[in-house]
Amino acid sequence: MPGRIMAKAPRTDFRCLADVRLYACCYNVSIMRPSIDVIIPCLNEERALPESVGRLHEFMSSNMAEYSWSIVVADNGSTDGTLEAAADLAERFAEVRFIRLQERGRGRALRRAWTESAADVMAYMDVDLSTDLAHLPTLASAIVDDGYHVAIGSRLLPQSRVVGRTLKREITSRGYSLLFRSMFFTPFRDAQCGFKAVSRRVAHDLSPLVLDNGWFFDSELLILAQKCGFRIREIPVHWTDDPDTRVRIIRTAWEDVKGLLRLKFGGVGKVRHQLRAAGKL
């Protein structure tokens, strides 16, 4: 009718947590605290696991009160007492649980933990806690408050601080960064830092399409996310090298190169097609 203003129904097809929070503010709707699961993938870490989970639990108890949070230990094929240590931690802390995978591979462990989680944000970090935990709230806030789909810690930004890293590993890391950036023109620099968070959408829609089950999982996820239009924030971190790292540089580098070539020659396009066909892009 002329002169009559029809009220437009508010949108509810939210694409990220930031949209939900904005909607709640505008329409005075109360919402539950956002939830976050922090995954710790581990292989034969019976000694390091109790101390690391204890430190992480203490930090989150003191600094993540605005979240409903859990710590998930993902034991992927350990043959020592890691599973028993995880079970003990779950008994000790109500916020800790664990999953067990028979097959090894960090990517496999993350995919399983993420796809089974119902949290709003899913993060992961290496069991050695090489990245300063003080960066965790910023990582989560990038997704919850700023609307990013992926947030990653970076050792390669000018503001990053790296302690104790050998020249060999530094050269290898920067060389790999230059390689994937020149191949895919990605804005992020550090694809391999073990300190990342993703939204539920990325965890459930994109991670099942990542083919790699090992160390290349991170790179593949990030490249696919960027090429499929997901927003990525890279955060400079304070990172302390673990001299007991079990990464085999030569073998890992070769697997990385093979993975990059797979993505370059058809891999990215295939995933885009799958997401579009499923109505998720």
Residues that are catalytic: 218
Are 164 and 239 contacting, i.e. CB atoms less than 8 angstroms apart?
no
Q: What is the dihedral of CA 192, 64, 66, 152, to 10 degrees?
A: -10
CA gap 281, 202 in Å, rounded: 11
The β-bridge relationship of strands 121-125 and 195-199 is antiparallel
| CB-facing half-sphere around the CA of 224: CA atoms within 13 A | 30
Are 255 and 214 contacting, i.e. CB atoms less than 8 angstroms apart?
yes
Written as one letter, the residue type at 268 is: V
Helix, strand or coil, per DSSP, at residue 235: strand
Q: Compute φ and ψ for 229, nearest 5 degrees.
A: 90, 10
Strand partners, 42: 75
Are 205 and 275 contacting, i.e. CB atoms less than 8 angstroms apart?
yes
Strand runs labelled E in the chain: 35-42, 68-76, 96-101, 121-125, 150-154, 161-163, 195-199, 232-236, 238-240
